[in-house]
Amino acid sequence: MAELNVFKTVTHSVQNSLTSVYTAPANYTGIVLSTQVTNVSDSTHTLTFTYQDSASGAATEILSQFSIPGRDALGATSGKLVVTTGGILKMSSSGTDKLKAVVGILESLNG
């Protein structure tokens, strides 16, 4: 029997092209509880953070080229973010491996 609620922590080293951070699995809705992004370099880098409702869906920017100063951090989500089954969160940065993300997610069984 599938679990009703599953807590997950996803870590991601942000690349300079849009890459998947999280995809809500079949039969579950992902509820993003928090998204922390840290700039581990001494220089300012930008973050683009998007949501797609499917692999072929259009991307909607949550943050677009948002500047994060060196050795600083950002709470990239304010409140909860619902990711429906098959929905995808993606991130990119102006520098490879300069931004590190930690995403707290509650996956809730549908229906």
- 10 has pLDDT over 90: yes
Give the pair of three-digit tokens for residue 6: 């599953």
- 12 has pLDDT over 90: yes
Stretch 3-21: mean pLDDT: 98
Please give the radius of gyration of the chain, using alpha carbons only, rounded to the nearest integer. Answer: 14
User: pLDDT tier at 25 (50, 70, 90 boundaries)?
Assistant: very high
Detail the DSSP E strand segments found in 1-111: 5-14, 19-23, 28-39, 45-52, 60-68, 73-75, 81-83, 88-93, 99-109
pLDDT at residue 111, rounded to an integer: 85
Q: What is the pLDDT of residues 37-81, one digit of tens each?
A: 999 999 999 999 999 999 999 999 999 999 999 999 999 999 999
User: pLDDT tier at 1 (50, 70, 90 boundaries)?
Assistant: confident
Stretch 80-97: mean pLDDT: 98
User: What pTM, to 2 d.p., does this model score?
Assistant: 0.96
pLDDT at residue 77, rounded to an integer: 97
**What sign does the dihedral 66-21-10-5 (CA atoms) show?**
positive
Stretch 81-99: mean pLDDT: 98
* Alpha-helical runs (H) found in 1-111: none
